[in-house]
Amino acid sequence: MSKKKKINKKDNKTVRSINNNIRSSVRKLNPILKGIVGKKVDVAIRDLEFSEKRITKDIRKTISSAVANAENNFQYDIDKLIVKEAYCGKKITMKRFRPRAKGRAAPILKPYSSVTIILSEIKKMESHGTKG
């Protein structure tokens, strides 16, 4: 994994959490992850809690793990954490077969994915919607 070395945790205040074996395809994970990027951590967790997708429970666990890493290892303030990046990649694909008519077999592919969540601490709290 060469991506671990690119981000220096000391100068730009980022924390990462990786969940390596999520039993879902990248295609199903990507829209969920795109929806939480840029949000504050508590808002992202709340959005995932009310989602109807089965896989959001695992993503929520990964975000909670990143928050715990930030709090314990780096003493960051939880209220100032935002989801800087969230991406997923392919892992193994289990191959199974379903018996069909006339002695044939149809393949069943069960893909696994890895999810990486990168949190960042914002310097100051920005107020939204102050135009009036």
The two beta strands, 81-99 and 14-22, are unpaired
How much is the pTM? 0.77
On the 0-12 / 13-18 / 19+ scale of CB atoms within 10 A, 125 is exposed
> Which of the four pLDDT bands, split at 50, 70 and 90, describes residue 14?
confident
What separation in angstroms does the CA of 49 have from each of 15, 45, 53, 86, 96?
Answer: 22, 6, 9, 17, 32
Rounded Cα gap, residues 63 and 18, in angstroms: 9
36 versus 3: the higher-pLDDT residue is 36
Q: What is the DSSP letter of 95?
A: E
Instruction: Give 45-75 pLDDT, tens digit per residue.
Output: 999 999 999 999 999 999 999 999 888 888 8
Confidence of residue 131 (pLDDT cuts 50, 70, 90): low
Q: What is the pLDDT of residue 129?
A: 57
Ordered by where they begin, the domains of the chain are: 13-121 (3.90.470.10)
SS3 content of the chain, % helix, strand, coil (to 5): 40, 35, 25
